[in-house]
Amino acid sequence: MNFEFDAQTDQMCATIADFARNRLAGPDAFEPDGFRRRWRLVGEQGALGTVVPSAYGGLGQGAVTAAAIMEALGYGCMDTGFVFSLGAHVFACLTPIVEFGTEEQKQRWLPLLCSGKRIAAHCITEPEAGSDALSMRTRAERRGDAYVLNGDKSFTTNSPVADVFIVQTATRPGGGCFGLTSFVVEAGTPGLTVGKRYEKVGLDGSPTADVHFDDCTVPASQMLGPEGGGFGVFRTSMAWERTCLFALYLGTMRRVLETSIAYANERQQFGTAIGGFQAVSHRIVDMAVRLETARLMLYRAAWGLDRGSTDEVAPALAKLAVSEAAVQAGLDAVQIQGGLGVLHGQAETALRDALPARIFSGTNEIQKNNIARALGLGGRSPRSRA
């Protein structure tokens, strides 16, 4: 076992964290032009192409390095919502194209998506199909050399600014895992419309909205993977997202831990720094323990991805551990700062930005169901964790 990054990765992460700290600060209110400007800056740094082969404009790195870069972005950038959008773009959109795209699709989209000149969104969730992805109602009907898409998608990250959409549809309703098919759909395609941007409790810097398809005609050449192969695309994107995207919260937690230590050493009560009070110091120690535990679980899952593991438990465990630790870190930071913690600032922002982590990429309850099933609970045989 080796728990250290190589020197090149360490230097890359330090550079990315410094860049994020100095160049990616977000405005108080979402502004599309500013969002795209910062997005292009990230592309110029190479951070959007971490897992994309160099032949298509990427860095050709694996999951461990990709997670390390996300952690550095989360540590350096105060706009966690913006970093979340970057992660959704890379792991829910680029990785499926890398894994399942035709050569023509890769040549057309990957260089643009790596460079930051284009932004991608992955349309999965629907009003009646969130955790139950196999019940999605968005249909794709074959008509000659094209498919006609009809349906509604909700909670679609990046959709208000997206140039291209990865769209999950049902080509054979009731067909289970073999009834779903994925498409690459360009923004501006007739019949594709994006709704009003959501106002959310957290991750304000990540633009999110509904996406509607009304007789949206897509050439068969834009199908991603084979017909009926959409569930494989979905599983691949979720494995990468539940592992590498969540590394951004490791960076956020590290930053919150450092500011909590600094505050506890500076804040005086009863003639001494509050960091000397056991109730405060133990809370901070617990923050450190949860961070290190979650970090080990996430990088173990990333290590498995790099080795071609099909284990679905490790990403589920990582997502569960990191999201719960991030929420608790926000609560602890607020408590340590007392009255200041409930004012607008880093502590309350960290808490609000962490709350959605329990929901997206499959709720934590769903992760526990998946883990329980793999353990053989409910009368099922335990699954091998290859």
| Alpha helices (H) along the chain | 7-23, 32-45, 63-76, 80-89, 95-100, 103-115, 230-240, 247-266, 278-306, 313-337, 346-354, 364-374
Residue in 170, 168, 166, 167 with CA at minimum distance from that of residue 139: 170
Residue entry with tokens 């831990």: 257
Among residues 71, 241, 312, 348, the one annotated as catalytic is 241
Q: What are the Cα distances from residue 207, in Å, to 187, 196, 234, 274, 336?
A: 16, 10, 21, 39, 31
Q: DSSP letter string over 278-324?
A: HHHHHHHHHHHHHHHHHHHHHHHHHHHHHTT---SHHHHHHHHHHHH
Query: What would the two tokens of residue 19 be?
Result: 């860049």
Distance CA 232, CA 227 (A): 11
Question: H or E element: which one contains 268?
Answer: strand 268-269
Active-site residue flag, 258: no
Q: Which residues pair with 262 in a beta bridge?
A: none
Which of 298, 292, 361, 371 has the alpha carbon at shortest distance from 329? Answer: 292
Between CA 42 and CA 225 the distance in angstroms is: 28
CA separation for the pair 143, 284 (Å, rounded)? 60
Instruction: Give the Cα separation of 305 and 99 in Å (integer).
Output: 13
Which residues are annotated as catalytic? 241
